[in-house]
Amino acid sequence: MTTIYDVASRAGVSPATVSRVFNGTKVSPEKVEAVRRAAADLDFTPNRAARSLRTQTSEVIALVIPDIENPYFTEMARGVEDVASEAGYSVVLCNSDSQPDKESTYLQIAIAEHMSGVIIAAASDATNLDSILATGRPVVAVDRATRYDLDGVVMANREAGIAATESLIAAGYRRIAYIGGPEDIDTAADRAAGWRQALTDAGREADIAALQRFATFRVDGARAAMEELLALPEPPDAVVAGNNLIGVGAIQVLTERGLTPPAVGVAVVGSLPFTTLSPTAVSLVRLPARHMGVTAARMLLERIAGDAQPARTVVLRGETQRASANR
């Protein structure tokens, strides 16, 4: 392993000068050149562990998400990564798998590695950020609010729930069910509230009790819920899916039963990135996941740079794409 001392002696300068060259402080052109050549000759790579130890920071940010296999989160990760790497930061992607203990392990690692900041889509509203916040490191919440007073970027979930439901009403459906994520996650609760609101506005509040289901934000849970709904004495003629994977699960079950949309109406809060359906069969309230990641990363970088204004929350709206077909 070559160090700045090796480079320094080869270039005939002091270690401090080598450090300065690599950190942009003023050094005379000749020495800069000498150092660069020596570094290249020796294939020198600065030791980040030493640098982090000395400066108490590292150009790394942690992105903690609950499901690495959900395209919504990978799209968001993509946005974070683009902004971060542009600014010279690396992103460590931490998959909490919705498990509080995995999540807190990753948070401890972020502290121990002196990472510059954290962007987190919390596994639950009980997520404990005390330790990381105590270190003074900035934290930005994405997708889901936390019980802390933090910068955050969230979707307009209630409005998305309303828009999804209304698109189905406009298409002529009447008995509209809802399958959402766990009730204790605010995104899921808000979207469900939007559905109830839209049902009430349409004079269908009587359906709420029978047609509301809370599953996981995953394909399997949604499949079970959809099957349960179809087994009802009076099954729904349409369904609002609380996220992308729930949409996939619901549509899978419908397709297997020969009820491919628009035979039964489907509206999804989120996108279906790898769908093979006709684009007009399903209503979508597309959520700008990449933009959420970009926004969160920018906010975090501002905080890292020392910005100390009060916590801000940015709310992003989904874009409704109404199914043109109806039954």
Site of interaction with a copy of itself (CB under 8 A): 1, 43, 45-50, 52-53, 56, 58, 68-69, 71, 74-75, 77-78, 81, 85, 90-95, 102, 105-106, 108-109, 111-114, 131, 134-135, 219, 244-245, 248, 251-252, 255-256, 272-279
Chain mean position to CA 231: 34
Query: Quick one: 5 or 273, whose CB is closer to DNA?
Result: 5
231 binds, among a copy of itself, DNA, none (CB under 5 to 8 A by kind): none
Q: Which two tokens stand for residue 256?
A: 């297997």
14 binds DNA (CB under 7 A): yes
What are the phi and psi torsion angles at 179 (to 5°)? Answer: -120, 120
One residue of 55, 105, 200, 280 binding DNA per CB under 7 A? 55
Residue that has been written with the tokens 């819920």 in this structure: 225
Question: Residue 224's CB: how many other CB atoms inside 10 A?
Answer: 15
Binding mask 227-246 for DNA (x = CB under 7 A): --------------------
305 binds DNA (CB under 7 A): no
- Residue 262: asked if its preceding bond is cis (omega within 30°), the reply is yes
- Residues pairing with 240 in the sheet: 178, 267
Residue 21 C-beta: closest distance to DNA, Å: 9
Find, among 300, 323, 267, 289, the residue nearest to 67 by Cα.
289
Query: Quick one: 50 or 311, whose CB is closer to DNA?
Result: 50
274 binds, among DNA, a copy of itself, none (CB under 5 to 8 A by kind): a copy of itself
* Residue 155 CB partners (closer than 8 Å, separation 6+): 143, 187, 287, 288, 292, 315, 316, 317, 318
User: What residues line the site for DNA (CB under 7 A)?
Assistant: 1, 3-5, 12-20, 22-23, 25-28, 30-31, 44, 46-47, 50-51, 53-56
